[in-house]
Structures are given as C-alpha cells and as structure tokens.
C-alpha cells in the first residue's frame, strides 16, 4: 500500500510502485484534471504539484509521491474561490480545446509561487508545456494579469 | 452540476446510463448532454429542434456539431439567439443527440465540425430556427391578449404589446407557442440590426476547462469499466500474423489479450497495466508489400507524376499555356515540396464503448458524431437507432477525428469482444503519431511566362500527390481531380490569361486525410512563393505586383490592402528586418499575411511581427475569431519550421514530441489580427488563418537572405524559429 495526499485528502493505493502518478490519479483515484499527452514528460498536460513543485506526473512513479502532497487542478480553488490564475484564464479566454490547460495552469501557478512578478523571459523559461491549439499569447497575458492580482491582494 | 447521460428520446436505455452517472460520478459540465436540461424541469417545452424554453425563462439552445476549441459551441447558438430575441445571459447550451438525429430524420442536420463550415453551412437554418420560435412565441402572447401579432414584438426574452407595455416572458407562453403551426417563411434580420452577432461573447465551455471539470473523451468513467491499449501493424495496411501472450498470462490486472485483424488489444483493469503488458506480448505482423517503402522511394513516385504523359487530369485550362509560355519574354520554372504532417491532437485517439443487448453506447472525441454512430453500428452489426454517441469535448481535432473514424471501429470491436462490459480504449502518443491519416505530401511543378513588362501571361502548375477523397472516403473524383490537392491553384484569382493546372493522382500506402486547412495549408505556400518569384523576376514590389493582378478580384484585393495597410507596407524597417507578403482565399474567407523577419548567421529566424488579415464576410464572435487566428499562427509555424513525417521501411519514423517537434510559448511571435469583414457572405474561421502565413514568412526570409524556400520544413534548410 502506498499512501499519498491528493488535494488535501489522504489515500491508500494498492498498485505497483513504478505505476506513474498520472495513472494512479486518473484510473485509481478518478482525478481526471491531469491529462495524458505523451507519456515522456514532453508536453506537460499531466502537470501537477508535488509538495508545491510542478512535476510531469506521467513520468513520476507513484512511489516517489508516497507520503507526499499532490495538488491537481481540482484542488486549486480555495473555499469556492478560484485561484487568481484561473480567474485570469477566464478573463482572457485563454483555452481553446482546453486539453493542455490544467497542466498550463498548474505550471503558471508554480511559476507565480516562486516569482511574484515574472518577466516575459521568466515566463518563456517556465512555461514549456505544449498547447496544440496555440493559446501561448493569451497564456502570457493571463500570467501577467494574475501576477498583478496577486500583487494587489498581497498589498 | 451533475448531469446524467440521460437520453430523452429512448427511455428504455436510461437505466444503464443513470446508473453509470450514479456510480461513476457522472460528468460535471457547464453545458449539458442531450435532453438533460429539458428533462430537469418537467415542463420545459421544445419549440423546435433547436430551442427549448423552461417556465423559469431559461432558454436552452441545442448545438449539433462538436467543440474542439474552435468556439462554435458558443457562436452557433448566438445565431439562434440573435433571431430569437432572448436574453443571452439566460441561455444554456446542450448537445443535440446523435441518436435522436437518426430517429428524427436529421432534425439537426449535419453534425460534423469539419471544413470550417459550422457557421457558414448552418447559419441560415439556425437563424431561421430562432426567428421561427420567436414568431411562435409572439403569436402565442398575442392570442392570450386577443390582439394582432403584428402589434407585438419580442426583445430580451419578453413579448411586448404596442406602446401600452403589456409584457409576457417567453417562459409564460412557451407551452402555448409550441402547439402552434410554425410559420413557413420568417424574415431574417438585416445584419445592421444585429444585437448579438458581432459582439465578443465569453465562450461557454471555458470556465469548466479552467476548473479541471471539462470532460474529454479520455475522461469518461463508467461502472465496471475496463481499459484497453492497442498496437497496430507498424507498416500501414499490414495485418496480424500471430501473437504469443505467454509473458503476460496471469499478470496482475490483465483481463484479456485480443488478437484483431490489424491490431492487438490488451484489456486490463487500468490503462497503464494494459499498455505495459502490451509491450510483453510478442506480435508477428504480416507487413504486406510495403515494407521497403521509404521517403526517397515515395519522392521518386511523386516525381514520376510530374513527368508523366498519361494519367494526368486537367483541373483548369484558360487560353493556351504552351503557346503563351513559348513566346514569353521571360520564363520562370520551379518545383515545390510540402511533406506529410501528423495531426498530433494533444488528446490521443480513443474510444469508450459498451455493446449490450443489441445496443451500443459510445463516448469518443469525434468531429462527426453521425459518422461515429454509423461506424459503431456497422462494427457492432446493429441498426443505427440502437446506437448513441455521447458527446464530449475534443482534445483537439484538426481533421483527425472527422473522416477516418478508425478509433471508433477499434473501440467498438473491442467492446463487442468484451460484450456487456464498458471498455475505454486509448492510444499511446506513439500509436497516434505513427497511425495517422497524414496531411498529404505534395510535389508541384510550376512554370510562368512574363511579358516584357514583367506581367504574367502564362501560368502552369502540376500537382503530384495522393488523393484524400479517393483513398479516405473513397469517393470518385470528378474529372480525375481531387479539389483539395489543387486548392488555391485551380481557383487562382489573378488576371493571367493563359492558365493550365494539372493533377497527377499518385496514391500510396501511406494513409492521408484532412488536416487543418488541408490543401490550403500547402498550396498557398507554393502559389504565393512562386508569385513572389515572378514579382522578383519582374523587378516589382511584391505587394504592388499582386495588387495589379487582383484588380478585378475585390475580396482578395480588399484583404490584401487592409493587411498591408495595417502592417505599414513600404514604410522603413529597422536594419536587418525584412517583410514578406501573401494573400489567398480559403474556406470561403479571404486572408492575407505580412511577416517582418530577420535571419541571423546561425539560421535563427526571428519573426518580429506577423500581421494576419481575415475577411470572413461576417464575424460572429470577434474575440473568438482573433483566438482562431492566433492559434492558426502557432499551428502553421509549427508545421513550417519542424513538421515532417518521414517514411522508412514502410512506417512513420517519428513517434512522439521528442522527434515530432511542437512550437513552444517562448517561440510565439507577436501576432496582430486584422478583421476586415466586408459583409454579404459567410466564410469559415477555423482554418483560413493558416493559409497565408507560410508564404509570407518564406517571402520575408527571401527578402532577408536571398534564399528562396521551395520545400518545407525550414529545419531542413538549417533554419529555426528564434
């Protein structure tokens, strides 16, 4: 049995230790926000936070998440309030098909967790997830907007 | 909100579906599944196939096609709402049922979201449905008041009588309205009176996406569901010879290994176990006759099409090309090549199905629910009426999920073999990349003859390529011409007196299909690059050269001028920065692009600015159209810099994003969109944006370096996107 905490809830799962975290989330725990895109940590559609760090869950064995905290898109809103990144994503109509967007949002939240006021270069470096529909320009705009919101709520 | 997979139109089937929602958690969605909203409030009234009204004045507008990010699930209902005169804030959108479409004699018409045609092909009947419902609501209110309907009007979900101001809400008269005979010939609004069309409206599906609640095909969860991973013969068209399952027998979670005609499926209690076990199933394939085919042998075959004297179809013939070319003051000849491209939808192909008691339920990301339904019925051997294709969001489509439907046949075949148990089949990225229906490769020879002033007298193109139409839907070609293969060449709008366009149909074992913008994703690159060659040979400015030739094609000219003006064509640029321009028609819309580019000594191409113009006639949801143009830029830049599927030993060489490269955020250039709707026609939006980009960028590269790009992708020329 492997124990892990997903979005604040503790789970015990009886699976192979090498089973990727993504498939434990999706097929065992029915947490469908993280998506499968490539299986080789290239596209980032499966991005979740492991102890606050963004990871590509398709390439993280569940054993590496044992007794750790996993945050997925489903756990981002707090007390019914969307995260400022989610709000900015809605305000700027970022998604098209939306398949990559939970990964994009988790990557953006992680970036803003470390860097409250990222430059375009910082965004370039941090946001390496693939969006096949081509929402990159709006992702950039929305990250800057969310940074502004975070700054004003802090002040 | 929890929504059932409820089926309003077939109560007998509801039990299973209801149960699945209860145990599986259902699908939480912001829009709704067929009949769900109408059922929720018992008294909801269907005014017609598209409009359902609840007593609390909620307006339910049905959407028949698919949503894959193109935004039509919002913009198509806007057309209904415009004429209905309802309060858009109270509009809810639900999918029309594919099963009901069979039973109700296609009350919702074509359900396919392909060819950039959702708006342009359904705008008239959608607006008519809204107007018809409005007239019925007005008539019902007028009857209740005992006044002539002509004294009443509708606005914002209320019917008002004259100046007196008596009002009734739509919900109050819906029941009576539904009983009236629909008027036959309603009058549609003059576009100048539109209130909703042309205003940016928030897309209905975005909030769920942002909360992680959006449900794609891959996310379907059913009680007792099993999971399947599949392996297909690596050589296209090959068959299964034998399998040895010794290594996976008794392995944890493995339920069954299914040897099918052209693939092997492992069925397990989760997908990862199925996929892992599949690697340990020893499979022998009969690869057939194509095991030695390579990119080089294919190129030779296509080249044969350029040189052939027979088996050639003529797509257009104006005047006498040969004579005009022979007497031309200047002759220009060139060959262009565009490669095979994979779709790479970020959600890999998949299909969930259950076959039980002669019924089939399918959940799949499809661009054509009717085609999915027909394929499911044929595979399971049941009548169409016994099948439902439950609607989900698509994780990208780009043409892959429309015509082929291979994934539905596979998913239903697996479910049939596992009768009574729902099975979710999902492809790996490797299967997805190596078993696509690729954008065709195309080799094109061009010749042009100029007169002494540099004006073109004669234009010739011969396209050698596989026909999608002949090999995928397997339809006969009219006069031997596949219109996709010669698109934007056969309809060359320029004032050139002698034109001959030929098509050499050269079909191979490499499967081809519709890929976002299809023929217009490649031929405008060829046409508009060659046009630049002519302008250059004539010593003319490429913009002015096109303007002269398009003087009698007002829509092409209009968008060219609007784009050039926005880009500041002719104005000075910083040192080292150069412009390129292109223009084309695609999917009933007119596009143009101006690229500003610099190229450094390492071959890094920096796109300083990309100005994209579009005239789609009418713009329904402007911000969404801008988004489509931005997305088109990424799709085309990805293709033109890196996109190429190569063939070795009969199979695709590329397999995943490490060797089939996608553009990233850091490479996104500044894109400025110029919407120039000129009115009077309805053009497409999802695809046209791509058409002018590659030639504009390549023409700018020529201006910067003197190097003419005649084959894509640019990585093969030592160029990359900075």
Strand B604-615 versus strand B671-675 pairing type: parallel
Q: What is the ipTM of this complex?
A: 0.98
Angle between helices B523-538 and B542-549 (to 10 degrees): 110
User: Looking at chain A, which residues constitute the CATH 3.10.20.30 domain(s)?
Assistant: 2-75
Percent of chain B with pLDDT over 70: 94
pLDDT at B42: 56
Do B2-9+28-210 and B217-288+349-426 have matching folds?
Answer: yes
B28-42, B245-259, B287-301, B490-504: which has the minimum mean pLDDT?
A: B28-42
Mean pLDDT of chain B: 94
pLDDT at B164: 75
In DSSP terms, which residues pair with B503 in a beta bridge?
B313, B463
How far is residue B72's CA from residue B113's CA, in Å, rounded to a whole number? 9
Strand B498-505 versus strand B152-155 pairing type: unpaired
Structure-token pair, residue A119: 């430059």
Length, in residues, of chain B: 722
Domain boundaries, chain B: 2-9+28-210, 217-288+349-426, 295-341+438-721
Confidence of residue B163 (pLDDT cuts 50, 70, 90): confident
CATH of B295-341+438-721 given 3.40.50.300, 3.30.70.2190, 3.40.50.2020, 3.30.365.10: 3.30.365.10
Strand B59-63 versus strand B91-95 pairing type: parallel
Structure-token pair, residue B543: 């913009």
Read off the pLDDT of residues B571-623 as tens digits, 9 standing for 90 and up: 999 999 999 999 999 999 999 999 999 999 999 999 999 999 999 999 999 99
Q: Is A40 on the interface with B (CB under 8 A)?
A: yes
Q: Which of 378-417 (B) contact A at CB < 8 A?
A: 393-398
pLDDT at A15: 98
Read off the pLDDT of residues A117-153 as tens digits, 9 standing for 90 and up: 999 999 999 999 999 999 999 999 999 999 999 998 8
- pLDDT above 60: residue B9: no
* C-beta atoms of B272 and A93 within 8 A: no
- pLDDT above 80: residue B355: yes
Q: What is the pTM of this model?
A: 0.95
Confidence of residue B372 (pLDDT cuts 50, 70, 90): very high
Find the CB nearest B344 among A32, A97, A132: A132
Q: Is B672 on the interface with A (CB under 8 A)?
A: no
How far is residue A92's CA from residue B8's CA, in Å, rounded to a whole number? 36
- pLDDT above 50: residue B243: yes
Chain B partners within 8 Å of A83 (Cβ): none
Q: Is A72 on the interface with B (CB under 8 A)?
A: yes
Structure-token pair, residue B23: 């145990």
Chain A partners within 8 Å of B26 (Cβ): none
Find the CB nearest B211 among A28, A77, A124: A77
- pLDDT above 90: residue A98: yes
How far is residue A11's CA from residue A22's CA, in Å, rounded to a whole number? 15
- pLDDT above 60: residue B697: yes
Q: What are the CB-based long-range contacts (under 8 Å, 24+) for B147-156?
A: B154/B84, B154/B85, B155/B85, B156/B85, B156/B86, B156/B87
Q: Which of 89-108 (A) contact B at CB < 8 A?
A: 89-90, 93-102, 105
**CB contact at 8 A, B37 and B11:** no
Read off the pLDDT of residues B447-487 as tens digits, 9 standing for 90 and up: 999 999 999 999 999 999 999 999 999 999 999 999 999 99
The residues, any chain, with a CB within 8 Å of residue A137's CB and separated by 6 or more, are: B630, B668, B671
CATH of A2-75 given 3.40.720.10, 3.40.630.10, 3.10.20.30, 3.40.50.300: 3.10.20.30
Q: Is B690 on the interface with A (CB under 8 A)?
A: no
- pLDDT above 60: residue A75: yes
* C-beta atoms of A133 and B631 within 8 A: yes
Q: CB neighbours (10 Å) of residue A75? A: 20
> Which residue is it, tokens 């309060």?
B87
pLDDT at B43: 77
Say which CATH architecture domain B2-9+28-210 belongs to.
2-Layer Sandwich (3.30)
- pLDDT above 80: residue B15: no
Read off the pLDDT of residues B499-509 as tens digits, 9 standing for 90 and up: 999 999 999 99
pLDDT at B172: 97
Fold of A84-154: DNA polymerase; domain 1 (1.10.150)
CATH of B217-288+349-426 given 3.90.1260.10, 3.30.365.10, 3.40.50.620, 3.30.1330.30: 3.30.365.10
pLDDT at A153: 81
Confidence of residue B35 (pLDDT cuts 50, 70, 90): low
B23-27, B427-431, B506-510: which has the minimum mean pLDDT?
A: B23-27
Chain B partners within 8 Å of A125 (Cβ): 666
């Amino acid at each position: 049995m492997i124990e892990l905490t997903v979005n604040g809830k503790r789970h015990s799962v009886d699976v192979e230790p090498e089973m990727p975290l993504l498939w434990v989330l999706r097929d065992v725990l029915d947490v469908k926000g993280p998506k499968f895109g490539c299986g080789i940590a290239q596209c980032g559609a499966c991005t979740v936070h492991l102890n606050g760090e963004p990871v590509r869950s398709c390439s993280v064995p569940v054993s590496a998440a044992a007794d750790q905290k996993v945050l997925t898109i489903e756990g981002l809103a707090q007390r019914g309030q969307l995260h400022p990144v989610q709000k900015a994503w809605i305000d700027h109509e970022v998604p098209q098909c939306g398949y990559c967007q939970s990964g994009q949002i988790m990557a953006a939240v992680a970036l803003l967790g470390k860097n409250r006021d990222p430059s375009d270069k910082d965004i370039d470096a941090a946001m390496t997830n693939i969006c096949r529909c081509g929402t990159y320009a709006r992702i950039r705009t929305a990250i800057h907007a969310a940074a502004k919101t975070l700054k004003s709520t802090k002040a | 909100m929890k929504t059932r997979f409820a089926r309003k139109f077939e109560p007998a089937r509801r039990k299973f579906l209801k149960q699945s929602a209860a145990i599986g958690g259902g699908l939480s969605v912001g829009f709704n599944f067929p009949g769900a909203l109408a059922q929720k409030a018992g008294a909801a009234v269907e005014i017609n196939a598209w409009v359902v009204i609840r007593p609390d004045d909620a307006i339910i507008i049905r959407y028949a096609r698919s949503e894959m990010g193109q935004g039509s699930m919002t913009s198509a209902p806007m057309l209904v709402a415009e004429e209905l005169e309802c309060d858009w804030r109270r509009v809810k959108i639900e999918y029309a049922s594919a099963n009901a479409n069979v039973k109700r004699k296609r009350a919702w018409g074509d359900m396919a979201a392909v060819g950039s045609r959702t708006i342009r092909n359904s705008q008239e009947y959608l607006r008519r449905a809204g107007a018809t419902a409005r007239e019925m609501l007005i008539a019902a209110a007028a009857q209740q008041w005992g006044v002539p309907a002509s004294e009443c009007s509708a606005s914002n979900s209320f019917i008002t009588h004259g100046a007196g101001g008596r009002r009734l809400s739509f919900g109050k008269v819906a029941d009576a309205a539904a009983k009236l005979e629909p008027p036959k010939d309603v009058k549609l609004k003059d576009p100048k009176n539109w209130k909703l069309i042309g205003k940016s409206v928030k897309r209905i599906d975005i909030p769920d996406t942002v909360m992680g609640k959006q449900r794609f095909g891959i996310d379907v969860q059913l009680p007792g569901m099993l999971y399947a991973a599949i392996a297909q013969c690596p050589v296209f068209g090959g068959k299964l010879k034998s399998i040895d399952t010794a290594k996976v027998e008794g392995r944890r979670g493995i339920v069954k290994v299914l040897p099918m005609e052209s693939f092997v499926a492992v069925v397990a209690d989760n997908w990862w176990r199925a996929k892992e076990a599949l690697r340990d199933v020893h499979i022998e394939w009969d690869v057939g006759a194509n095991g030695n085919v390579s990119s080089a042998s294919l190129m030779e075959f296509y080249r044969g099409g350029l040189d052939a004297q027979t088996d050639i179809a003529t797509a257009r013939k104006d005047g006498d090309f040969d004579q005009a070319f022979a007497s031309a003051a200047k002759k220009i000849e060139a060959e262009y090549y565009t490669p095979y491209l994979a779709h790479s939808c970020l959600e890999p192909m998949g299909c969930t199905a259950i076959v039980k008691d002669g019924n089939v339920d399918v959940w799949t990301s499809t661009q054509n629910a009717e085609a999915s339904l027909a394929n499911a019925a044929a595979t399971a051997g049941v009548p169409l009426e016994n099948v439902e294709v439950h609607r989900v969001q698509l994780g990208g489509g780009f043409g892959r999920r429309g015509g082929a439907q291979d994934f539905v046949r596979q998913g239903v075949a697996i479910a049939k073999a596992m009768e009574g148990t729902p099975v979710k089949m999902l492809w790996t990225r490797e299967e997805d990349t190596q078993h696509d229906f690729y954008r065709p490769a195309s080799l094109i020879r061009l010749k042009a003859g100029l007169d002494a002033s540099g004006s073109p007298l004669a234009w010739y193109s011969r396209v050698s390529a596989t026909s999608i139409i002949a090999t995928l839907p397997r339809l006969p070609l009219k006069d031997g011409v596949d219109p996709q293969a010669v698109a934007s060449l056969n309809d060359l709008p320029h004032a050139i007196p002698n034109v001959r366009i030929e098509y050499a149909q050269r079909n191979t074992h490499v499967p081809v299909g519709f890929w976002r913008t299809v023929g217009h994703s490649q031929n405008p690159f060829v046409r508009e690059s060659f046009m630049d060659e002519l302008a250059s040979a004539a010593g003319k400015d490429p913009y002015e050269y096109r303007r002269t030739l398009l003087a009698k094609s007002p829509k092409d000219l209009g968008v060219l001028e609007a784009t050039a003006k926005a880009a500041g064509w002719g104005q000075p640029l910083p040192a080292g920065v150069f412009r390129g321009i292109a223009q084309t028609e695609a999917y009933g819309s007119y596009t143009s692009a101006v690229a500003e580019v610099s190229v450094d000594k390492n071959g890094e191409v920096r796109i300083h600015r990309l100005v994209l113009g579009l005239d789609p006639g009418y713009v329904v949801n402007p911000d969404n159209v801008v988004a489509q143009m931005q997305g088109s830029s990424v799709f085309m830049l990805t293709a033109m810099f890196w996109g190429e599927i190569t063939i070795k030993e009969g199979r695709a060489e590329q397999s995943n994003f490490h060797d089939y490269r996608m553009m990233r955020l850091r490479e996104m250039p500044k894109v400025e969109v110029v919407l120039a709707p000129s009115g009077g026609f309805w053009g497409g939006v999802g695809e046209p944006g791509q058409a002018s980009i590659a030639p504009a960028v390549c023409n700018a590269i020529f201006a910067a370096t003197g190097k003419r790009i005649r084959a894509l992708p640019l990585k093969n020329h030592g160029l990359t996107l900075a």
